[in-house]
Structure formats: C-alpha cells, structure tokens
C-alpha cells in the first residue's frame, strides 16, 4: 500500500507495533522443554489481547497463529505438541497480523540458550545483511539491486541465499505489490521501490541450500541441500532517504 494520509500511517504503526510486540514477547517466553504449540498459543493470546488477528490463519487458514520453524526448517513451520525445543536449537518465529484493516509482518531467527551448535554467526550475518539492505532502500532504487546487495553480502560472509522466498508489499492485505523482493539479483525484475509504499523486507541466509521445498504437510519448508537458514524481517515505509522501520521495537537487531 501507499501511505497517503495520516490515518494510514497510524494504522500501519499500530499493526506493526502489535506484531513486533508479539514477536518480542514470544522470543522472551521460549524455554527449553516447551512445545512449539505452547509457544504459538502464547503468541496467539498476545495477538488476541491486542485486538489483532493472525494473518496466516486469516489469509490461508494456516494451522497456527504464528509460524515457528525449528532447526533445519526454513519457514512456515506448523506449531505442534510433538516438537519440543531444546537448548541450542535454531528457532525462527514469524508473526504477521491484521489490526483494524492494516497488516504487518516481522520475523527473526535466534538460538535458544547456549549456542552449542554454532548457529550464531549465521544469525548475525542475516541480521546485519537485513540492516544493510533496508538502509539502502529508498524511492527509485531497483528491487533487483537490493537483491544483489543481499546475495553479495551473504557470499562475503560465506553463505548462500534462498532464491524462492522473498519479501513483499504489505498494508491492506498480507501480500501486495511488489510481490517479490528477492534475496538475489533477479535480472527480469525491473521494478523500483516507490516512495511512501510499505514493504516487508526479509533475508533468507543459508549455509547450504538455495531453494526451499514444501514438505508433505503442505506448509513446512526445508532446504534442497540441507543445512540451516536464518531469517529476519521488518515492515518498513519507503521514503526518499532513510526508511521508517515500523517493526523496530521487535529488537531482532539487538538480540
């Protein structure tokens, strides 16, 4: 969507605050021994208390309030009583929601407790690449140039990118134009970022895989060549200078 009036700005700020607060609270809540279903139910209650509705459930009838992906899962992990989180696990929580007609999206990967499997360098790379990408976005910049930046920075750090998962426009629905903000240079994408538009920018930084494959449950994504993936995501408003990071309070860059 394009921010054309103050009501739109306030609506997006409120929706973004809801998803950012929920993500932060969920990350703080997680402890070893919990099931991903417990974590999701907690997040669903936080959203409900804020008056927000789960975007994946509302849009796609996803079987959870949030997406919680564990270890080798890249994204769209279904919360389950059978998935128990352990010390050192690589966990990704993605929270998107609708509030009063406005939609926002954010997510982040983190290590639970002690980093016994050495996932932290991957996470730090994803966080820093997202930061660099976002602060290079302004009206008129080619979307493919930001993809090139993400891919180049990943390679410099010794990683790959997932090519078939992308950021997207957002605002009046979960996915809007531009539909694909890829993590690599898509030479066929000639579109440019537009001033005052709202987008969800996300990194998918990988140790081995370049494609995400859907599993038998119809939702969960894992890599085509195994390994691990870190994802970080913010909803932003594009300006002609520094973007406004609407979900900054989720603190994914700090933690």
Paired tokens of 21: 């607060």
d(CA 31, CA 29): 7
Quote the pLDDT of residue 199: 98
Cα 69 from Cα 127, distance rounded (Å) = 17
List phi, psi (to 5°) of 89: -65, 145
Q: Which element (helix H / strand E) includes 95?
A: strand 90-99
Q: Are 96 and 56 in contact (CB under 8 A)?
A: yes
User: Residue 73 contacts by C-beta under 8 Å, 6 or more apart in sequence?
Assistant: 92, 220, 221, 222
Model pLDDT, residue 216: 96
On whether the 6-250 domain is CATH 3.90.230.10, my answer is yes
Of 170, 169, 162, 179, nearest in space to 231 by CA: 162
The secondary structure of residue 231, as a DSSP letter, is: E
Name the binding residues for a divalent metal cation.
94, 105, 168, 202, 233
Q: In the chain, what are the domain boundaries?
A: 6-250
CA–CA distance, 98 with 51 (Å, rounded to integer):
9
Contact 138, 195 (CB under 8 A): yes
User: Mind listing the pLDDT tens digit for each residue in 156-179?
Assistant: 999 999 999 999 999 999 999 999
Task: Spell out the residues 6+ positions from residue 110 whose beta carbon is closer than 8 angstroms to its own.
Answer: 27, 90, 91, 92, 123, 255
Cite the annotated binding site by residue number. 76, 94, 105, 168, 175, 202, 233
Q: What is the pLDDT of residue 255?
A: 77
Binding-site residue positions for substrate: 76, 175
Q: What was the pLDDT predicted at 247?
A: 98
Question: Could you say which residues of the chain have pLDDT below 70?
Answer: none
The reported pTM is: 0.97
Distance CA 251, CA 255 (A): 6
């Amino acid at each position: 969507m394009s921010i054309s009036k103050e009501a739109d700005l306030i609506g997006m700020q409120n929706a973004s605050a809801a998803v950012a607060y929920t993500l932060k609270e969920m990350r703080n809540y997680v402890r070893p021994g919990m099931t991903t279903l417990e974590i999701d139910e907690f997040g669903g209650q936080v959203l409900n208390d804020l008056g927000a509705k789960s975007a994946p459930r509302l849009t796609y009838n996803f079987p959870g309030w949030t997406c919680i992906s564990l270890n080798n899962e890249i994204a769209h992990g279904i919360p389950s009583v059978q998935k128990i989180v352990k010390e050192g696990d690589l966990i990704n929580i993605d929270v998107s929601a609708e509030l009063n007609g406005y939609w926002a999206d954010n997510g982040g990967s983190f290590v639970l407790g002690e980093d016994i499997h050495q996932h932290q360098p991957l996470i730090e790379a994803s966080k820093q690449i997202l930061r660099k990408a976002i602060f290079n976005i302004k009206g008129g910049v080619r979307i493919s140039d930001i993809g090139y930046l993400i891919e180049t920075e990943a390679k410099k750090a010794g990683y790959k990118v997932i090519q078939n998962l992308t950021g997207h426009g957002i605002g009046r629905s979960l996915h809007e134009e531009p539909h694909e903000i890829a993590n690599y240079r898509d030479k066929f994408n000639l579109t440019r970022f537009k001033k005052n538009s709202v987008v969800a920018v996300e990194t998918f930084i990988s140790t081995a895989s370049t494609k995400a494959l859907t599993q038998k449950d119809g939702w969960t994504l894992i890599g085509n060549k195994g390994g691990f993936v870190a994802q970080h995501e913010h909803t932003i408003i594009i300006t002609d200078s520094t973007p406004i990071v609407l979900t900054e309070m989720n603190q994914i860059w700090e933690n």
